[in-house]
Amino acid sequence: IGFHASSEKQYPVLSEAVKRRLEAFAAGITAGNSVGLPHKPHEFAILGGEPSPWAGLDVLTLMKLQSFSLASNWDVELARLRILLSDGPEALLAFDPLAGQGDKGTGGQGDEKSLGEGVAPLVSVSPGPLVQLHEDVAALRDALPLGGGSNNWVIAGSRTASGKPILASDPHLAPSAPPPWYLAHARCPEWEAAGAQLAGTPTFSIAHNGFAAWGVTAGLTDNSDIYLEELGPDGRTAKCADGSFAPCEVRREVIRVKGAADEVIEVVVTPRGPVITPHVEDVSVAVSLRAVWLEPLPVNGYFGAVTARSFEEFRRSFAEWPVLPLNVLYADINGGLGWQLIGQIPQRAAGHGLVPRPGWLPDSEWKGMVPFDAMPYRTDFPKGYFATANNEPEWPSPEPWLSADYCDPYRVRSITDALAAKDTGWTVEDCLALQRGVRSIPWEEVRDTVLSLTPTIPDAADGLELLEEWNGQVDSESPAACVFELFLAEMCVRTAKVKAPKAWRAALGERGGPLDDNFFVDRRIGFLVRQIREQPAGWFASWPAEMEAALGKVVLHLRTTVGPGPAYWAWGHLRQLRLDHPLFKNHAWLGPVFNLGPVPCGGATNTISQAGAKPTNPTGFTHNMANMRTAFDLGDLAKSRFVLCGGQSGNPWSDHHADQLPLWQAGESIPIPWLQAEVIRASRATLRLLPAGEGKGGRGT
């Protein structure tokens, strides 16, 4: 993909101020890895090798890697393409109705034409390249912090106990030890901030600066495109709009392998971007990737926002933000509120980017970026609150085209329902409690339909009896929640097999490809709920009979493999949370040392307290959850609270490896002292870093 290569092209266009920040941050990492550590980190001690010096270019590269791993759309495009190639356009249009919105040039008619010119004829092409792509990308994504999602909301001072705004933010990523977030308080002559950084990045993504606070959720705007490429016989030329073949750039990558010869890979880069599938003999289809985060564009965003003293100043910093698309909520001590959708997105000459587009079509190019002033934002919140949860933005205009691949709206509905139910008196503690909410709106929407079944299967009858008394809370101790979540998973599998019999596993995110933890999979429940309520023809001979069979199968499975009755079926004990070390998680000896848990875990994909599970493995460890919970009180920022799922340290023998996990489980949290006197009172140890020559070897104690 060329993360580092694109950073080399981008670095010269960055401002000198941003370069200085990147270089200073990288210098700190290098110093920490050399003079700062008495011993190697455990990973280097076990695997061998030495930490290499960091440069500002490496920090920029890491930001690109995060943008790739928290994909907004390219992985969904591949999901659609694989269904298309394996099962045909009818399967895609039935299984994902969004594909019918496909191409501007065809008017979005909801038929094969909507898939985009040049795509539908490819249904006869072997899916071989896509299979290889899934295997290749899986190797990389398996080592990255996958997943994505989040909640955030802001409450106006008119509805809070303090009379000042409260802002809450709980980002959702894959469970990991250590977490991807690092809590910090930084003070320097130009700015000061306290909150959370994504580890390895020099900015505060969720924090306050003494005047304003901000929090984020994934914005899921479409900032990347997959292109079908027709390469020449030598694999180094690509078809152009006029039918000719133009030379491609060829990038030589050398991968050093311990104990073996170097691996040399030649990457073909078309005018769209790098070819990320190998050229397969007898198949003239390759796939390339173009992404905003691979473009040589300036970066500002959080670098400038940290000094903001108004929402307008804050939001303007994100006019240059060609990386992660995010919903940013803002609140300040003067009562100011705001929401800005950030992350630059392309203006396409044609198409919506829902499915891969042939790169040789004349209208496949981008026409620059959407102007920042055209991006959605708000400063007025008539209801006194506003929330986002990876849902489609509240934006009345069809322009600019942002995306279609959002999460189901269940989490944001649960949040806004709770905020609307209490007019005044909101506190930080109330928000921390709401972040742990496990209300199931999917159950509320299908309850009447499911309970109207007249079962003839004894196991199904037992399941219905359990569900009839359920309060709809997907809590850890609930056996009814267990039955319902497994019933949804079973129905997802059954509906997928009907319309995509060849690609159904990939479409449901089964491990083995880049579809893991993507938003195509997370949107299956909303689609299934509509199906259960409407029971459209062309799927099953009888929807009621199919639902009864699914429910009976679930109860029989629980009875025969978990325990003889509901007392054994507690949801959070069957589907648990384990915090995985990125390298050693599955190692027989090292995994138990570096991982944390497993521990019981309530919630589901569509509860506020998210605990995602794949339909093909609903009782496996959750793959997406709140790694951190925060709530900021703009009436007294010292009362703001934070908690990580795990701890700050990656060292299993550190006191801070798991010290926050019990707090996270219990719904408790900690402050980050702000005023200098508070910092001094809270300090347990002090490390002084002095310029060389001013101390003992430039190091303090």
What Rg value do the Cα atoms of the chain yield, rounded? Answer: 26
Query: Using the 8-state DSSP alphabet, how is residue 159 labeled?
Result: G
Taking the model in full, what pTM does it have? 0.91
Using the predicted structure, report yes or no on whether residue 122 has a pLDDT greater than 70: no
Say how many C-beta atoms besides its own lie within 10 A of residue 560's C-beta: 10
Amino acid at 426: W
Q: How far apart are CA 402 and CA 352, in angstroms?
A: 9
Sign of dihedral through CA atoms 258, 263, 269, 272?
negative
DSSP string over 436-473:
T--B-HHHHHHHHHHHT----SHHHHHHHHHHHT--SB
Instruction: Supply the pLDDT for residue 75.
Output: 76
Using the predicted structure, report yes or no on whether residue 356 has a pLDDT greater than 90: no
What is the mean pLDDT of the segment spanning 425-440? 97
| Helix ranges (DSSP H) in 71-186 | 74-87, 89-95, 128-141
Using the predicted structure, report yes or no on whether residue 105 has a pLDDT greater than 60: no
Using the predicted structure, report yes or no on whether residue 652 has a pLDDT greater than 80: yes
Buried b / exposed e across 276-315, counting CB within 10 Å, b at 16+?
Answer: bbebeeeebbbbbbbbbbbbebebbbbbbbbbbeebeebb
| Helix ranges (DSSP H) in 194-308 | 302-305
Instruction: Supply the pLDDT for residue 693.
Output: 59
Sign of dihedral through CA atoms 610, 611, 612, 614?
negative
Query: 148 falls in which pLDDT band (50, 70, 90)?
Result: low
Using the predicted structure, report yes or no on whether residue 633 has a pLDDT greater than 60: yes
Q: How far apart are CA 514 and CA 618, in angstroms?
A: 19
What is the mean pLDDT of the segment spanning 245-249? 94
Amino acid at 183: L
Specify the higher pLDDT residue, 700 or 493: 493
Residue 389, judged by CB atoms within 10 A of its CB (0-12, 13-18, 19+), counts as buried
Q: How far apart are CA 64 and CA 274, in angstroms?
A: 15
Instruction: List, for residues 508-543, the tens digit of each pLDDT value.
Output: 766 444 334 455 666 788 889 999 999 999 999 999
Say how many C-beta atoms besides its own lie within 10 A of residue 460's C-beta: 23
| DSSP run (H or E) holding 187 | strand 181-187
Do the strands 224-229 and 357-358 form a parallel or antiparallel pair, or are they unpaired? parallel
Minimal CA–CA distance to 661: which of 643, 675, 636, 683? Answer: 643
Instruction: List, for residues 205-232, the tens digit of each pLDDT value.
Output: 999 999 999 999 999 899 999 888 888 8
Instruction: List, for residues 381-417, the tens digit of each pLDDT value.
Output: 999 999 999 998 988 777 888 888 888 899 999 999 9
Using the predicted structure, report yes or no on whether residue 641 has a pLDDT greater than 70: yes
